[in-house]
Structure 1
Amino acid sequence: MADEIRLEAPLMREGNEALKTGDVVLLSGVLYTARDAAHARMKEAIENGDDLPFDPEGQIVYFTGPAPARPGHAIGPAGPTTASRMDPYSPLLVERGLKGMVGKGLRSEAVRDAMREHGCVYFGAVEGTAALLADRVKDAEVVAYEDLGAEAIRRLVVEDFPVIVVNDLHGGDLYLEGRERWRKRAPVGEGS
């Protein structure tokens, strides 16, 4: 396994250019949480010329809706949600300087194109590790859309938050590459 890469948010295009699909990254700094409903509101704000709840320049959005925090914890379990649900909205934030997204699952061609053009990387968080990921969150506060409950936008301060590069700036896609590697290794009659 390759060495882990440590990155401090906010991110810059130059740092993102060095990343390749499959790289294991430990993120520290600030992540913002946002799911479907929050993304729809941000799209509406952009269309109306209103300010966004946070400046996306250099930031990372984590597609999660954390559970309530247990005593002594910043947040409750916070696993990744399916990123494709944010695909209609993601290019709007990427065009405004967003440099990272964390979720699970494939992204659309339009999102991947916007990411390459504007220097944004898509990271995968491992599904089923919600409690472990929450342990990497040192502080959490709701910054917008509190009425959305778990889907409110939160500002998280994380330390060594583990992710894997899924889509890099060079056109790499870990999901597609993984399937190809598996097909090449599968015995005849399997993987068809």
Structure 2
Amino acid sequence: MEYELSTPLTDEDINKLQVGDTVYLSGKIFTARDSAHKRIIESGAPMDLNGVVLFHAGPIIKQKDDKYEIVAVGPTTSMRMNPYEADVLDMGVKAVIGKGGMDEKTQEALVRNNAVFLTAVGGCAALYVNGINEVNSVKWLDLGMPEAIWELDVKRFGPLIVTMDSNNENLYKKNK
């Protein structure tokens, strides 16, 4: 199935999704990599995480005056976030976008929190940037541009594939 969903995501949105489905997102998504995940665990999130979509990405940003423009944004390897992701999901996150899948602890947290892992295709950074309307804000820029949390306003951002769902299904395990 193919779904167009608006953020923040709800349990009703997640209940529809199964591994193999294609998803397009509109609304707000937030980038977050290793350093941001670590700081969220240690200090708390700089935004309300309920219903949030986190994108494991370090965008290439161009700054002009006080405005930021995304030049390219593609997924980074998600397993780097394994030490933190289950705890971050427990804070209310409903979807994580990345590549390569995640560990069993994260899968259990997806089930426990009725959340999903969405795979973005690596090498499609120029394609994904087309779904971004603008950068709304940036948090924790002291971590550096790739590690900061970028709040992105998106429209039909995707395609994204449900590869780990809230029913304990995992496309990566099925296809091994």
> Would you say same fold, with TM above 0.5?
yes
Deviation at 1:69?
A: 3.3
Deviation at 1:176?
A: 1.7
Structure 2, gaps ≥5 residues long:
none
- Is structure 2 residue 91 aligned with structure 1 residue 96? yes
Alpha-carbon distance in structure 2 between the residues aligned to 1:43 and 1:96: 9
Partner residue of 1:164 out of 130, 147, 161: 161
Deviation at 1:141?
A: 3.8
Conserved 8 A contact 1:123-1:167: yes
| 2:151 aligned partner | 155
| 1:58 aligned partner | 51
Alpha-carbon distance in structure 2 between the residues aligned to 1:64 and 1:142: 16
1:125-184 Cα shifts (integer Å, max 9, x gaps) = 0111001101111011443111222211010011111111011111111112223xxxxx
| 2:19 aligned partner | 21
TM-score, normalising length from structure 1?
A: 0.84
Conserved 8 A contact 2:101-2:164: no
Moved runs in structure 1, 4+ residues, more than 4 A? 70-73
TM-score, normalising length from structure 2?
A: 0.92
Name the amino acid aligned to 2:162.
Answer: V
How many pairs align? 172
Name the amino acid aligned to 1:65.
Answer: G
Conserved 8 A contact 2:37-2:88: no
* Greater share of strand: 2
Conserved 8 A contact 1:33-1:154: yes
When Rg is computed on C-alpha atoms for both structures, the one with the higher figure is 1
Partner residue of 1:134 out of 129, 136, 156: 129
Alpha-carbon distance in structure 2 between the residues aligned to 1:158 and 1:99: 17
Deviation at 1:40?
A: 1.1
| 1:114 aligned partner | 109
Partner residue of 1:176 out of 163, 173, 176: 173
Output the aligned Cα RMSD.
1.8
